[in-house]
Amino acid sequence: MYGLVVIGDSFAEGRGEPDGEGGFVGWVPRVAHRLGVRDVLNLGAFGATTQDVVDKQLPAIADVETPLLGVAVGGNDLVRAYDPDGFRRNLETIFDAVAAPGRRVFTHDYPDIPGKLPGLPEEHRALLRTRFVEANDFLAALCAERGVVRYELSTAPLCADPDMWYPDGIHPSALGHRTIGSEIAALLS
């Protein structure tokens, strides 16, 4: 039995805040600490897509018991070879698979990563921003329908503060992870 399980990509992994030992810290342990949760399982993996979560991470947690489960995935789908139908289908599959009586499921929406990427041609930036907006609209409706708690990262004040982001423009900085952890914990408590 775990107090908190998180599945997803490098955002879940904590990339952007190295722990000094070859791994990452991130927002997940901060959520656990603030909620007084022990025994955390974080399967966040660099580069993971919604398909990777469906194929690899969902089977890994199929028999895992937890009262609190976080899903942080989708950004890689949006910036790579984007398949809107596959993306939506995978998110539905993920949220259906993790739903369980007595379990609270939470996620976050997608911040304006295209606006933070240095050197991105404006035409491509506009295309990516359209994808992110459409993905956020879909996710909002899906969360409302499935009863998933959604942290609205896309409109959080931290998104406009460059100090909250790692130099790659994709991942939160240590300060960003601390802030996100605090805000998600507050939303869940």
Distance CA 105, CA 62 (A): 15
CATH number at residue 120: 3.40.50.1110
CA distances 159 to 113, 149, 150, 163, Å, are 9, 19, 16, 9
Tens of pLDDT along the chain (189 residues)?
A: 999 999 999 999 999 999 999 999 999 999 999 999 999 999 999 999 999 999 999 999 999 999 999 999 999 999 987 999 999 999 999 999 999 999 999 999 999 888 777 788 899 889 999 999 999 999 999 999 999 999 999 999 888 888 998 988 889 999 999 999 999 999 999
As a whole number of Å, the end-to-end CA separation of the chain is 20
Partner residues linked to 123 by β-bridges: none
Q: Whole-model pTM?
A: 0.95
Residue range of the domain that includes 117? 4-188
Other C-beta atoms lying within 10 Å of the C-beta of residue 4: 23
- Our count of domains for the chain comes to 1
